[in-house]
Amino acid sequence: MKTEILPGAFKYFPGTKSFSLILILIGSLLTTLHLNAQPAKPEIPKEKQTTLGLYLTAKEAYQIWKADSLSVKILDVRTPEEYLFIGHPAMAWNIPLLFQTYEWNAEKKHFPMKSNPDFISRVNQIADLTDTLLVTCRSGGRSAIAVSRLAQAGYKYVYNIIDGIEGDIINDPKSVFFGQRMKNGWKNSKLPWTYTIDPKLMLIPGSR
């Protein structure tokens, strides 16, 4: 039976003695009251929202993967260039949602990206529709798009890692890190990180 991973989930195990059950219910009620008294969590930015509505921070994602590393997969949908040169979680599969192009768009002042037509079929190679997938990109935008596409393809337990690999931009002009991605994210959270490549984890054009 598939158990959805949700923070604060309460499980009842049959066979619990009535007195113990009362204590559990009281504890659950007190916990609920305590949580309700806490400040509300920040709203998920629109560009990071998904059709499934399942979200994790990088720290939460790592703890979930560590607790069940055989069944939970971390999916890095950044470009191969980002995966190679910026570094990546050692356990992450690299299946790009988009590929970088190198023809300058003068109007938009950037090098545009193009969609990976094999994205879903590549994910299908490593995951079943009922598997738990934790999806990341640079900062939570592309991964949100990837989660929604996977949901459309039939995947049910796909979480967006909302702070991504590099984290969010520091917006405080007084900070020496103003304009840099130094806020939260996998890398800034000091989670396991590597530049070492395992080609078996990169499902890109030319790979198996």
- Does 25 map to a domain? no
Paired with 93 in beta bridges are 75
Q: How confident is the model at residue 16 (pLDDT cuts 50, 70, 90)?
A: very low
Q: What's residue 176's pLDDT? A: 65
Query: Which has the minimum average pLDDT: 26-35, 58-67, 94-103?
Result: 26-35
Is pLDDT at 1 greater than 80 in this prediction?
Answer: no
**Structure confidence at residue 20 (pLDDT):** 52
Nearest to 99 by CA among 90, 89, 111, 109: 111
Q: Is residue 3 part of a domain?
A: no
Maximum separation of any 2 CA atoms in the chain, in Å: 71
pLDDT at 153: 98
Nearest 5°: the CA angle 99, 101, 106 is 135
Bridge-based pairing state of the strands 93-94 and 98-100: unpaired
Is residue 53 situated within a structural domain? yes
In this predicted model, what pLDDT tens digit does every residue of 128-187 receive, in sequence order? 999 999 999 999 999 999 999 999 999 999 999 999 999 776 677 777 666 666 678 999
pLDDT at position 189 over 90: yes
Q: What is the pLDDT of residue 7?
A: 45
CB 25 within 8 Å of CB 120: no
Q: Taking residues 90-99, report their average pLDDT.
A: 97
59: domain range?
A: 46-201
* Res 14: pLDDT: 38
88: in domain? yes
Which comes out higher in pLDDT, residue 103 or 26? 103
pLDDT of residue 15: 42
Q: For residue 174, what is the domain's CATH number?
A: 3.40.250.10
Mean residue pLDDT across the chain: 82
Number of domains in the chain: 1
Distance (Å, rounded) from C-alpha 130 to C-alpha 154? 9
Mean pLDDT of 190-196: 95
Tell whether 5 is covered by a domain.
Answer: no
In a domain, residue 32? The reply is: no
Answer yes or no: is 37 within a domain. Answer: no
Residue 21 reports pLDDT greater than 60: no
Give the pTM.
Answer: 0.76
Which segment, 21-30, 52-61, 100-109, is predicted with the most confidence on average? 52-61
Q: How far apart are CA 158 and CA 4, in angstroms?
A: 10
Query: Has residue 31 been placed in a domain?
Result: no
